[in-house]
Structure 1
Amino acid sequence: MPDATTERPYHHGNLRTALLDAAERSLREHGADRLALRDLAREIGVSHAAPRRHFPDRQALLDALAEAGFARLDAVLRSALAGADDDFAARVRAAAVVYARFATENAALLELMYTSKHRAGATRIVAAAEAPMRLLAEVITEGQAQGALEPGDPERIGIILFATLQGIASLVNGNFVPPDRLDGLVETAVEQFLRGARPAS
């Protein structure tokens, strides 16, 4: 007797979104290695062939998940900056806190995001990954224009700040640092960054 799932049509409004949502849940709970298209199809109640309308294979789904992750990161950073004061220090703090929280609340997704962009042919992911870094460079440029930051390559300076935040998030994700210390460590990192990058008087 055939599996009823194989004959079940798709009745949701958006198959692609449903698959990505299910894939992210699976990623969070089980990791990327155990993610399978057939399991996702079973979970959302469609035929085993249905996911291939949008994702020809498992790698295509992982790539789409990583690309969506970068888009979401860019969106939350932009939202944080839109709600921050024009003061450079306030904008850096807003972006830093949001990034660190995103990185710790979406640890498995973030790992996928940063490993996927190094795969050969992952041009769309690379382009998506550039958006948050470009946004950070824009904030650095604003600080330099305000005289709050020393002259220099905005991208290079932004990478230093990003690396510090990523390091803190990695320590939390690896259980080396308890999560309740995250915000305090980020605040200290931002203070040190602002102090060290301030133009000499």
Structure 2
Amino acid sequence: MSIAFLVTTLIVVATPGTGAIYTLSAGLSHGRRASVVATIGCTLGTVPHMVAAITGMAALLHTSATAFQLVKYLGVAYLLYMAWATLKDTDPIVAEEETAPRPAGRVIASGVLINLLNPKLTIFFFAFLPQFVDTGEPGHVLRMLELSGVFMLVTLAVFAAYGVCAASVRDHVTARPRMMAWLRRGFAGSFVALGAKLALAAR
């Protein structure tokens, strides 16, 4: 395991993106449990990209403009939906123990979709992992699985830290409804901005 791989992976994961914003939003809106579950969902959302990289399916997105555009605009549509859902969620937030927790399956599904519908993540796996794997060696598939596993563990750790930190200040934020309203708008605006950035992305 090279230091270059670990450093680059940490930079890629820690840079705020759709997954990080979703985890922060879950932590602030629904508490520590929801943030951890959201983290698991976002981490699981990298599995299809890993499979695509290992099987060569990522090459299709890299070479086929139609396939790339299809996945890209599905991602844009889902990010816009997340922005709308964030703004729509105007129920007053009270202490976590006084409210029924959100269904884990629903939180995980949203996290999976956020990372699944991100063609740039597939391109990342396709372009980044091969630099650290000699495809001519017999065990190159296991090596890619190993590196992908490290990427997922880093994602899990970093996103969990984001979510738990957000949940730790939740009581201070929820005691100020106007602040929570502005945070909702901020998260919704972030989803819209990320959707616009993805819409303009080239292969």
TM range (shorter): under 0.3
**TM-score of the aligned structures, taking structure 1 as reference length:** 0.27
Q: Which has a greater percent of helix?
A: 2
Instruction: Name which structure has the greater RCO, CA cutoff 8 Å, separation 6+.
Output: 2
Structure whose alpha-carbon radius of gyration is higher: 1
